[in-house]
Amino acid sequence: MSRWNALRAYTSLPAATGRWFLVVTLVGRIPATMGQLGALLLVSGATQSLTLGGATAAAFAVGQAAGGPVVGRTADRYGHRPAGLAAALSHTAALVLLVVCVGAGAPPWAWLASSVVAGFSVPQVGPLSRARWTALAHRGRLPADRLPTAMSFEGTGDELAFVLGPALVGLIATAASPRTAVLVAAGLTVTTCVAFALHATATLVGGGRGGDAAAGVRAPLAPVLLLAAGLTGLGCYFGSTQAGVTWRAEDAGAGGAAGLIYAILGLSSALAGVLVPMLPASLSLVRRLQGGFILLGVLSLPLAITGGLNAGDLWVPALLIALPGVTIAPILVTAYTLAEMAVPVERISWVMTLLTSSVVIGYAIGALLSGSLADRYGPAAPFLISLAATGIGAAAGTFGRRRLAALRPDPVIGGPGRV
């Protein structure tokens, strides 16, 4: 398949799922990217305390990191429909409860508890959507050579959601109120996430399609943990880079520009995600993962140097941040593709949500470390941490190269293989 034919392969995806699935899986992942910022703006605006707002947002992140694998394992065991419906309805209720608690002047522990539950119950549309594509390949409804294209579509969808979600929160909070922004996130959840849970593709994974067998199927942990370590490093890169950009913007007296600058990272990544199918087939997935992290570090050097030295106007980091963005979606697509090969289909939802939670955990670590160190040592600290984070990902690919290289697609269905 030529490189341009690889791009045209996107047109074959609706035949496997229907166009409606592509819509709900793209829009359905946006609410998950709205909750954390929405909670921050809601609480900090009501209390005039960034400390309480930050604590509420952190509680959301902790809940999301812990709840992702739980939602995934539940989906494998009982099916995507019951797990997806339970998560969507719980998430909606928790967001509404958070708004009610803040508006009624409830004690802070009530805000934190609501935020933890909201994070824990995030419907995990992105990871579960990847699991469905894998199941479609196993059932023969998606040609094996189209699965990488589907994973690229998912990677692009993730990056667009990470750009659109916070931007939507900011626009609604400015035009109306943070309360309205959180309620819009709840409304999107109860509509699009419920639609995703009820879509016909949900019957392909878990429940009657092997859910009972899932309890007795063991996934090989070594390659999964290696991939999780790499994506934790990537999440740490996100958190530290965002902290560094925020410091630069606030120091320049334009704190609101930080979100716009950081969004460029997501946009360049989304564009790169679309082009992933054009990568040569001769480049193995393991080399692609390892090389992606190395290239991420190299392309981040100009941003780290200018950001750390606080050199130039804000347009300088706005331009330079686009460079490392081109490696992010390819890294994510490659990691999820390797994960699909690492585990049996009965565990695919769990491993996809685990990797997503790894990114969330890494983001929290990077943001926490970078924020505290930047206050002490200036803007160089966050950017140095971001470079170190790329090293974590490259090390995971290097030390786990033999393990990951042993993964092979199933020769019959092109799906998950064994180590």
List the CATH number of the domain containing 154: 1.20.1250.20
Under 8 Å between Cβ of 116 and 62 = yes
> How much is the average pLDDT of 19-24?
94
**Is residue 122 predicted with pLDDT exceeding 60?**
yes
Is 177 among the domain residues?
A: yes
Could you give the percent of the chain with pLDDT greater than 70? Answer: 89
- Domain assignment present for 9: no
Q: Is residue 171 located within the same domain as residue 318?
A: no
In degrees rounded to 5, what are phi and psi of residue 17? -125, -20
Q: What is the pLDDT of residue 373?
A: 83
- What is the C-alpha separation between 206 and 254, in angstroms, rounded? 49
316 domain-assigned: yes
pTM of this prediction?
A: 0.86
For the chain, the distance separating the N- and C-terminal CA atoms, rounded to the nearest angstrom, is 27
- Can you tell me the distance from the alpha carbon of 193 to that of 199, in angstroms, rounded to the nearest whole number? 10
Regarding whether 34 and 65 lie in a shared domain, the answer is: yes
Q: How far apart are CA 113 and CA 135, in angstroms?
A: 35
Cβ proximity of 229 and 357 under 8 Å: no
Residue 151 sits in the same domain as residue 296: no
Predicted confidence at residue 40, as pLDDT, reads 86
List alpha helices for 378-412, DSSP H.
380-399, 401-405
Q: Tell me what the mean pLDDT of segment 385-389 comes to.
A: 95
Q: What is the distance, to the nearest Å, from the Cα of residue 231 to the centroid of all Cα atoms in its chain?
A: 10
- Under the banding of pLDDT at 50, 70 and 90, the label for residue 279 is confident
pLDDT of residue 412: 40
Confidence of residue 282 (pLDDT cuts 50, 70, 90): confident
Percent of the chain with pLDDT over 90: 47
State the total domains in the chain: 2
Residue where a domain stops, chosen among 209, 233, 255 = 209
Domain interval for residue 249: 220-409
In a domain, 7, yes or no: no
Q: Is residue 419 part of a domain?
A: no
Query: Using 50, 70 and 90 to split pLDDT, how confident is the model at 255?
Result: low
Half-sphere exposure of 250 (CA within 13 A, CB side): 11
Mean pLDDT for the chain?
Answer: 86
Do 139 and 232 belong together in one domain? no
Q: What is the pLDDT of residue 366?
A: 87
- Same domain, residue pair 169 and 40: yes
Q: How confident is the model at residue 353 (pLDDT cuts 50, 70, 90)?
A: very high
Q: Verify that 266 and 347 share a domain, yes or no.
A: yes
Same structural domain, 265 and 193: no
The sign of the dihedral angle between the CA atoms of 197, 273, 118, 225 is positive
126-146 pLDDT, tens digit each: 999 999 998 898 888 888 778
In a domain, 72, yes or no: yes
Model confidence at 111: pLDDT above 70: yes
Q: pLDDT category, 4, cuts 50, 70, 90? A: low
Kindly report which listed range (368-372, 387-391, 406-410) carries the lowest average pLDDT score.
406-410
Say whether both 129 and 201 belong to one domain: yes
With respect to residue 13, please indicate whether it lies within any of the assigned structural domains. no
Q: Is residue 215 part of a domain?
A: no
Do 241 and 145 fall into the same domain? no
Rounded Cα distance between 227 and 76, Å, is: 20
78-92, 168-182, 196-210, 288-302, range with the lowest pLDDT: 196-210
Rounded average pLDDT over 91-100: 97
Residue 418 pLDDT > 50: no
Of the residues 179, 209, 239, which one is the last residue of a structural domain? 209
Phi and psi at 415, nearest 5°, equal -105, -150
**Residue 409's pLDDT band (cuts 50, 70, 90):** low
Are 28 and 126 contained in the same domain?
yes
Specify whether 33 is located in the same domain as 175: yes
**3-state class (DSSP) for residue 144:** helix
Q: Which of 209, 236, 256 is the last residue of a domain?
A: 209
> How high is the pLDDT of residue 7?
64
Asked if residue 241 and residue 184 are part of one domain, the reply reads: no
Query: Whose CA is closest to 276, among 164, 158, 153, 161?
Result: 153
Only one residue has tokens 């849970």, namely 197
Predicted local confidence at residue 405, as pLDDT: 66
With beta carbons less than 8 A apart as the criterion, state whether 189 and 91 touch.
yes
Examine the pLDDT at 249 and tell me if it is beyond 90: no
